[in-house]
């Protein structure tokens, strides 16, 4: 006969839960990820109970040894949750009871699963945010590396996915790096608000035992203990905010992914993906598909879904803890795991892609992309911008009708469209000149792009230290 399952709330109940309730209620299959963090909390709590005189020194030593032993057994897989464990807290209490007998039951004094689970999830997310930031830094390094290696290469800059003005390809790559920098800052900001410890709040009202929530907070790396126990056990802002930062990161990866899909297409041919980051087709032997980029694009959907799902769960919940809150975890875990899965693949894809510089340079002026430069030259010569715009517009139409590009025009043809179009306007009708002229702050001129590379490298290095040290 098997032993009765460990339950944390059996006292007032005559029978065990129905199968249907047990199946609905169980969360250990996903919240087992919190085990290392729950054990960290248990260690801190044991010390506080000792200082409060609720656990003598010998009991504390035995408790800490048992926690260490259980931690190792969890890490090696020797101790695992069973189907009878309702959640991670139940499974770990069973582990302590197996090691300590009734002493294992002392740790629950002054603590509830409500403050425990909120603490565990904060610890888990704060730890994983650092891993995510490290992976984001690697992606920045890949993008900056390509920006540096291809410095000076022009490409068509687009609006509405139409050729607009030529830009440096590096400028475009760095635009993605800036977006990722904001993602990193958002995670770092989030971390400051998430660094509040709910432990000590008990079920909802705090504890009558002389515990020391501030000491526990400090031991667990939090900046302070929560000031209001009711808020502490019911607040899931930190999950929602994390999911927003994760979802926006996912959106940024999806935009980069979409660009890579375009760049690798037959129509663009801006880049060639390395074989190690591309896939083939089971039927079409010639295919090389951008699956990494597509999955980066596609997986944003599930993170956005997790954010919307959680906000919907939280909306209208009365204070304080409600079991609905158990629904906070799967989406958060999935968002973390999705980012940690996608980011290394995207970094590798970017780092190894080969840039088809000749093709880009050839495309850069196409589609009358130098029209704005021509109009601005006329403005510098005193023509009202409205008129300059009109003149160049006419020139474009004339070229289209006569199947010509700006470069093919004779002096007579230019003069026919407008007296302003003297032969020397040709001086601005070249891509390097157009790019070099955009040297105001934030522009695509090589010196501005070089500055960005330096600044972004510095902020990326700072983020790497934050992730590894804090
Ligand atoms: N598994 C629960 C959760 O994730 C733990 C807290 C349970 N608390 C309770 N009062 N039933 O939220």
Half-sphere exposure in the Cβ direction for 116 (13 Å, CA): 26
Check whether residue 335 and residue 398 sit in a common domain.
Answer: no
- Regarding the beta carbon of 27 and ligand 1, being less than 6 Å apart is answered yes
Ligand 1 pocket, residue 123 CB under 6 Å: no
Identify whether the C-beta of residue 306 lies closer than 8 Å to the C-beta of residue 243: yes
Q: Confirm whether 103 is domain-assigned.
A: yes
Would you say how long the chain is, in residues? 470
Q: What is d(CA 211, CA 49) in angstroms, rounded to the nearest whole number? A: 7
Whether residue 380 sits in one domain with residue 357? no
Measuring from atom 11 of ligand 1, which residue has the nearest CA? 323
Q: Which of 109, 144, 166 marks a domain boundary?
A: 109
Kindly report the CATH number assigned to the domain that includes residue 400.
1.10.40.30
> Contact 34/124 with Cβ under 8 angstroms?
yes
Per DSSP, what are the bridge partners of residue 168?
154
Same-domain pairing of 137 and 247: yes
The rounded distance, in Å, linking the Cα atoms of 46 and 66 is: 11
Structure tokens at 310: 């959680």
Q: Do 200 and 161 lie in a common domain?
A: yes
Does ligand 1 lie within 6 Å of residue 28's CB atom? no
CATH of residue 306: 1.20.200.10
Q: Is the CB of 373 under 6 A from ligand 1?
A: no
Domain boundary (45, 78, 109) is at 109
Mutate to test the pocket of ligand 1, among 22, 25, 87 (most ligand atoms within 8 A of CB): 87
Nearest Cα neighbor of 467 from 26, 113, 127 is 127
Say which residue the tokens 């802002």 belong to: 237
Q: Is the distance from the beta carbon of residue 116 to the nearest atom of ligand 1 less than 6 Å?
A: no
**63 and 194 share a domain?**
no
Report CA-CA distances (Å) from 385 to 159, 185, 382, 395, 437: 21, 40, 9, 15, 18
Q: What angle do CA 8, 37, 244 make, to 5 degrees?
A: 105
Q: Would 8 be classed as within a structural domain? A: no
326 and 378 share a domain?
A: no
Q: Compute, in angstroms, the gap from residue 114 CA to the centroid of ligand 1.
A: 6
Q: Is 129 contained in some domain? A: yes
Are 352 and 380 within one domain? no
pLDDT 10s digit of each residue in the chain, 470 long?
A: 346 777 776 677 777 789 999 999 999 999 999 999 999 999 999 999 999 999 999 999 999 999 999 999 999 999 999 989 999 999 999 999 999 999 999 999 999 999 999 999 999 999 999 999 999 999 999 999 999 999 999 999 999 999 999 999 999 999 999 999 999 999 999 999 999 999 999 999 999 999 999 999 999 999 999 999 999 999 999 999 999 999 999 999 999 999 999 999 999 999 999 999 998 888 888 889 999 999 999 999 999 999 999 999 999 999 999 999 999 999 999 999 999 999 999 999 999 999 999 999 999 999 999 999 999 989 998 999 999 999 999 999 999 999 998 888 899 998 888 888 899 888 788 999 999 999 999 999 999 999 999 999 999 999 999 999 97
Ligand 1 close to Cβ of residue 117 (< 6 A): yes
Which of 78, 109, 140 is the last residue in one of the domains? 109
35 C-alpha to ligand 1 centroid (Å): 14
With a 6 A CB cut-off, is 226 part of the ligand 1 pocket? no
CA of 321 to the centre of ligand 1 (A): 8
Q: How far is the CA of 51 from the centre of ligand 1 (A)?
A: 27
SS3 for 354? strand
Provide the token pair at 460: 């990326």
Provide the CATH number for the domain around residue 74: 1.10.275.10
Determine, yes or no, domain membership for 340.
yes
Ligand 1 proximity of 87 Cβ (cutoff 6 Å): yes
Which residues belong to the active site? 160, 281
Boundaries of domain holding 178:
123-209+221-362+454-468
Return the HEC string of 404-454.
Answer: CCHHHCCHHHHHHHCCCCCHHHHHHCCHHHHHHHCCCCCCCCHHHHHHHHH
Residue 150 is assigned to a structural domain of this protein:
yes
Provide the token pair at 415. Answer: 């003069």
Residue 325 CA to ligand 1 centre (angstroms) = 8
Same domain, 168 and 203: yes
Q: Does residue 5 fall inside a structural domain?
A: no
**Residue written as tokens 């687009």?**
158
Q: Check if the beta carbon of residue 242 is closer than 8 Å to that of residue 132.
A: no
Q: Is 10 inside any structural domain?
A: no
Does one domain contain both 298 and 396? no
Helix (H, G, I), strand (E, B) or coil at 166: strand
The domain tally of the chain equals 3
Mutate to test the pocket of ligand 1, among 117, 120, 124, 199 (most ligand atoms within 8 A of CB): 117
User: In this structure, is residue 44 part of a structural domain?
Assistant: yes
Residues 146 and 272 occupy one common structural domain: yes
- Strand pairing category for 196-197 and 224-225: parallel
Query: Could you tell me if 163 and 306 lie in one domain?
Result: yes
- Extract the tokens encoding 147: 């920006």
Instruction: Say if residue 197 is in the same domain as residue 268.
Output: yes
- Cα 301 to ligand 1 centroid, rounded to whole Å: 28
């Amino acid at each position: 006969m098997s032993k009765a399952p460990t339950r944390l709330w059996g006292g007032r109940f005559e029978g065990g839960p129905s199968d249907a309730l047990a199946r609905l209620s169980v969360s250990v299959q996903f919240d087992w990820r919190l085990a290392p963090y729950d054990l960290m909390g248990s260690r801190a709590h044991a010390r506080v109970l000792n200082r409060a005189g609720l656990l003598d020194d010998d009991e504390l030593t035995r408790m800490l040894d048992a926690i260490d032993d259980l931690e190792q057994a969890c890490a090696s897989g020797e101790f695992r949750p069973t189907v009878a464990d309702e959640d991670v807290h139940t499974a770990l209490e069973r582990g302590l009871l197996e090691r300590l007998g009734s002493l294992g039951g002392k740790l629950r004094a002054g603590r509830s699963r409500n403050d425990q689970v909120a603490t565990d999830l904060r610890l888990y997310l704060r730890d994983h945010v650092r891993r995510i930031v490290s992976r984001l830094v690697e992606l920045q390094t890949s993008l900056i590396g390509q920006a540096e290696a291809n410095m000076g290469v022009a490409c068509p800059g687009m609006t509405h996915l139409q050729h607009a003005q030529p830009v440096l390809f590096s400028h475009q790559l760095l635009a993605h790096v800036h977006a990722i920098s904001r993602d990193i800052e958002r995670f770092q900001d989030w971390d400051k608000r998430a660094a509040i410890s709910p432990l000590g709040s008990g079920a909802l009202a705090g504890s009558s035992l002389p515990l020391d929530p501030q000491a526990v907070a400090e031991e667990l790396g939090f900046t302070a203990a929560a000031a209001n126990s009711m808020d502490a056990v019911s607040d899931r802002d930190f999950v929602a905010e994390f999911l927003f930062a994760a979802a926006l990161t996912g959106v940024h990866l999806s935009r980069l992914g979409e660009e890579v899909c375009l760049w690798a297409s037959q129509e663009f041919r801006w880049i060639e993906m390395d074989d190690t980051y591309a896939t083939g087709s089971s039927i079409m032997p010639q295919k090389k598909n951008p699956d990494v980029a597509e999955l980066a694009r596609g997986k944003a959907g599930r993170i956005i879904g997790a954010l919307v799902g959680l906000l919907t769960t939280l909306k209208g919940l009365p204070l304080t803890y409600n079991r609905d809150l158990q629904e906070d975890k799967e989406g958060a875990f999935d968002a973390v795991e999705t980012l940690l899965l996608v980011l290394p693949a995207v970094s590798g894809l970017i780092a190894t892609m080969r840039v088809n510089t000749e093709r880009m340079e050839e495309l850069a002026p196409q589609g009358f992309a130098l029209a704005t430069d021509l109009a601005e030259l006329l403005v510098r010569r005193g023509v009202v911008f409205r008129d300059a715009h009109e003149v160049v517009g006419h020139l474009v139409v004339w070229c289209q009708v006569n199947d010509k590009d700006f470069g093919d025009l004779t002096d007579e043809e230019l003069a026919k469209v407008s007296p302003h179009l003297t032969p020397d306007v040709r001086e601005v009708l070249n891509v390097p000149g157009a790019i070099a002229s955009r040297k105001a702050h934030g522009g695509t001129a090589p010196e501005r792009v070089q500055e960005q590379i330096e600044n972004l490298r510095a902020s990326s290095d700072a983020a790497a230290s934050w992730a590894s040290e804090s």
